[in-house]
Structure 1
Amino acid sequence: MHTSKIFVLSLLMTGIGAGVQAQTLDKVKSNGSISVGYREASIPFSYLGSDASPTGFGWEICGKIVDEVKKVTGRSDLKITTQAVTSQNRIPLMRNGTIDIECGSTTNNSERAEQVAFSINYFYTGTRFLVKAGSPVKSVEDLAGKTVVSTTGTTNYQVLRRVNDERKLGFKLIGAKDHNESALLVQQGRAEGFGMDDILLYGLRASSRDPAELDVVGKALQVEPYAIMLRKDDPEFKKLVDGVVAGLMKSGEFETLYKKWFQSPIPPKNVNLSAPMSDELKDNLKAMSDKPAT
């Protein structure tokens, strides 16, 4: 076959493949399985429990979405496969079809929306700092000239780099592969503070060997929404996901789940995060917006 014809056929086949892959419900019905991405240490959204299985607030909501997928596709026998994801690989794994949905602690922002889609926002958080208890660090300004760590591939890392430049703080910003490693660097004294979403810091502190050894400090540098991540250009699946989230918000079940995971003792150490619902989230229980952070 002529080279130009082969090229055209290749483009057509690529387009067809992308179209099929993008339609999650068709893919799931055909394959008889759905792949759910989870985080290993994003307490209380998505993390490994004491039995080494995924659990958490986001994980439970994903379970309800999967139940709806079973109904819509008529696949009561639907197989659920799980895939651990990191800050660095979660978007590539969504785009290449390895995972079909991700319920973790992923910020919904405009930049990411060019590559993936997001559900109605289901949490709001801001960048603060995990430090050793008794540390003189109480604000980002107190970190001037010191070493600060954040997890590579997160929006927090970018925020900290920007704040460091804008305020001329001169702190050394280093990257860690995941949240546990970032927290460990603080515990070992190799970093003065770990900048990350405050709710994740509360979770890491709660699951640490001695929660009293760590503090969460500082005013939030910015407020960002979390949402369930799914593939871009798949309006049918987004409608289903949004429908489940909206249904939970309207029925009051969302608030029940919130109290279970944010205001009650949770595994693995039965520590209560005691995190009240933010005004932004309260407002979104009514607005049910999927508006991204800028």
Structure 2
Amino acid sequence: MKKLIRYLGLLTSLCVLALVLSSCGTKKAASQSVLSRAEETNTIVWGVKADTKLFGLMDVKDSQIKGFDVDIAKALTKQILGSKGKASFIQVSSQTRIPLLKNGNIDAVVATMTITPDRQKVVDFSDHYFNAGQSLLVKKGSSVKSVKDLDKTGTRVLAVTGANSVANFQKVAPKARVLELQDYAQALQALKSGQGQALTTDNGILLGMAAENPGYQVVGSAFTKEPYGIAVNKGQKAFVNKINQALKKIRENGEYDRIVKKWFGNISGFDYKEAEK
């Protein structure tokens, strides 16, 4: 019995040690120079969404994530590392993107991430690369025409956990109840099953949903401004500067404009010129 207790104690100690070492390794990786590591490996690891039409969506035909954010990341990689630089992608969500970044699992986040004061306390942002605005997606024929129609007791609106759209909506419609889902696929399905009267997030994301689901439409004008930025860990100023230089370059050489028109040029109701500002 004593041998068993001694063995279990040793096993527990080893497990604790493993966790400590793992944590230290993660912290060490997160604190290293991302730019130096990217130059050494000739690769930048980007966190992108895989459930967001137009910005980052998994193509089931070839298991590749495709979208505006993905193409922007590829263009930036070439500017930072050269024509042979490689862009690697890891799927993130609104909930996981900051933890994965802080742990050093990814080098940067380019995933419909609005620059906000609260987030700037935790991560650093590049210059904004896309302008969005929060709006509403409803079923065609709905009586909901604007956010004001939802500011009623008993009204239920759908949003995604981890996105700032929840707090934004509660400010303009405090009487409504917000039901948070894990991702946009679940939120859209909840809207279709009648669990809410509207789905709220950035207009670019909603227009992507509407394009794939003709029975739904985006209504009302945008009631917030959502400048998207590329998030990088604190203490990586050299990398942020490189990203900003690369953003400026792809705007100047026309690559940015080409990518915007590729993904949004034919989307009804979307002002891609406004998004470019």
Short-chain TM bin: 0.7 to 0.9
1:43 aligned to 2:53?
A: yes
Shift of 1:91: 0.6
Match of 1:207 among 209, 212, 215: 212
The AA in structure 1 aligned to 2:102 is: R
Runs of 5+ consecutive residues of structure 2 not aligned to the other structure: 1-19
The AA in structure 2 aligned to 1:251 is: N
| Percent of residue pairs identical | 27
Aligned to 1:83: 90
2-structure distance, mates of 1:70, 1:227: 20
2-structure distance, mates of 1:247, 1:220: 29
Residues 79, 226 of structure 1: alpha-carbon distance in 2 compared, 3 angstrom cutoff? closer
Residue pair 1:46, 1:103 contacting (<8 A) in 2 also: no
Aligned to 1:157: 166
The AA in structure 1 aligned to 2:172 is: V
Aligned Cα root-mean-square deviation (Å): 2.6
1:57 aligned to 2:64?
A: no
2-structure distance, mates of 1:101, 1:164: 33
TM normalised by structure 1 equals: 0.78
1:179 aligned to 2:184?
A: yes
SS in 1 for 2:190: helix
Aligned to 1:198: 203
1-structure distance, mates of 2:253, 2:43: 29
1-structure distance, mates of 2:224, 2:139: 22
Match of 1:98 among 78, 101, 105: 105
Aligned to 2:147: 140
1-structure distance, mates of 2:155, 2:242: 47
Shift of 1:52: 2.5
2-structure distance, mates of 1:256, 1:66: 16
1:23 aligned to 2:25?
A: no
The AA in structure 2 aligned to 1:172 is: R
SS in 2 for 1:137: coil
Residue pair 1:138, 1:217 contacting (<8 A) in 2 also: yes
Residues 278, 33 of structure 1: alpha-carbon distance in 2 compared, 3 angstrom cutoff? closer
Residue pair 2:49, 2:57 contacting (<8 A) in 1 also: yes
Shift of 1:278: 4.6
Matched residue pairs, number?
A: 253
The AA in structure 1 aligned to 2:270 is: A
Residue pair 1:22, 1:231 contacting (<8 A) in 2 also: no
1:266-286 Cα offsets, whole Å, 9 max, x none, are xxxxxx45522254633xxxx
2-structure distance, mates of 1:163, 1:183: 22
Aligned to 1:216: 218
Aligned to 2:10: none
1-structure distance, mates of 2:41, 2:253: 32
2-structure distance, mates of 1:60, 1:226: 15
1:117 aligned to 2:112?
A: no
Aligned to 1:289: none
SS in 1 for 2:106: coil
Runs of 5+ consecutive residues of structure 1 not aligned to the other structure: 1-9, 265-271, 283-294
2-structure distance, mates of 1:94, 1:160: 27
